Amino acid sequence: MVFVVRADLERLGSGIFQALGIPPEEADDCGQILVAADARGIKSHGLARIKRYADGITAGLIKGGVVPRVLHETPCSLVLDAEGAMGLSLSKRAMERVIAKAQEQGMALCSVRNSNHFGIAGFYAEMAARRDMIGIAMTNTAALGVPAFARKAMFGTNPIAFAAPGLGGTLFSLDMATTTVPRGKIEVYQRAGKELPPGWAVGSNGLTTLDPLSLLDDLLHQRGGGLLPLGGAGETLGGHKGYGLAVLVDIMCALTSGGVFGEAVRDSELTSARVCHCFMAIRLDILRPPEEFKRDLSRMLHDLRSLEPAEGADRVYYPGLKEQEAEALSNRRGVPLEEGLWQHIKTLAESLGVAIPSVTG
């Protein structure tokens, strides 16, 4: 591993995007959001994805400087056509508009179609949570998930993020794929040359596969097989529930915006699919005094983390705690990156004439 000062790494990410033609303010957003994933230990959604963004920009499939088209707007809602905009920056700005509407109306929702990969969903939900609101963010993705009892992918990893504030900056922050794992984790195993754990994915025959390379290739060309829904195969461990959650995300993101859903959402050789998002914010004070809510949430989280751990476990976590602790550590010692990924980023940066920061370890 190497460690890079967070601000330096954000500038590097922004510099790469600017060199690719993305306007500076949007490029800053992109660097900030991708590095946030690495700082939190979410390696599947950090700078490891930067080449895929670069390929999409070069091919003209991801565009900077786009003003999204407003399809419908009310005081508490907004529907946008992103028209191929950079999903990271577009989503940050969409959530900012949702928060502004919620400040006026108490709650607000925005759905977006024709966008691109937006990084970690939790980033946007937490934007609202830090403003004394409950934040929710979702996105559909290319068809990667196999419905219960099927053998063909018909929905994406379709993540859901939910964030709520406690006292002193404490956050409950749930950010989860509705498949057993996101595709990025399959890519992590493929880069490491490791077999997949049983129960993550099935091949074109609907049976367990352990080969990440063949799985990724089959998914790209829609030959069958894919990731299992949260809960795994069938109904015994609740796979039908993960399946239902994935379809819920498609409804909230695609059907509310008039975008694409299901198997029609497809990746290409060069870039990720055009996708749909949904963002929501609910002001705490339309329900009860915010300080009372935050006090009770903090007590709830304290109770959870104070539980006696199971035999063989070190401690009990609440959703978001591991990521928050990893981020605090990254802020102190530098953001950790695998050596191979760092070399890849350096090569891309050098080819674009972008200055490379020093590493701290």
Q: What is the pLDDT of residue 88?
A: 98
The reply to whether 60-181+229-286 shares the fold of 1-58+321-361 is no
Task: Give the separation between CA 272 and CA 92, rounded to whole angstroms.
Answer: 19
**Which tens digits make up the pLDDT trace of 95-118?**
999 999 999 999 999 999 999 999
- Give the three-state DSSP class for 357: coil
pLDDT of residue 119: 96
| Other beta carbons less than 10 A from residue 257's beta carbon | 26
Query: Backbone dihedral region of 272: left (phi > 0), alpha (psi from -120 to 50 degrees) or beta?
Result: beta
Number of CB atoms found within 10 A of residue 194's CB: 11
Domain 1-58+321-361, CATH: 1.10.1530.10
Domain boundaries, the chain: 1-58+321-361, 60-181+229-286
CA distances to 98, 115, 117, 209, 286 from 112, in Å: 12, 7, 12, 34, 26
- How far apart, in whole angstroms, are the C-alpha atoms of residue 361 and residue 343? 14
The span from the CA of 45 to the CA of 32, in Å, is 12
Report pLDDT digits (tens) over 16-29. Answer: 999 999 999 999 99
Given the candidates 3.20.20.140, 3.40.50.1980, 3.10.20.30, 3.30.1370.60, the CATH classification of the domain at 60-181+229-286 is 3.30.1370.60
The residues of the chain scoring below 50 in pLDDT are none
Within 8 A by CB and 6+ apart from 287, the residues are 293
Would you state the structure tokens that stand for residue 318, as one six-digit string? Answer: 């609440």
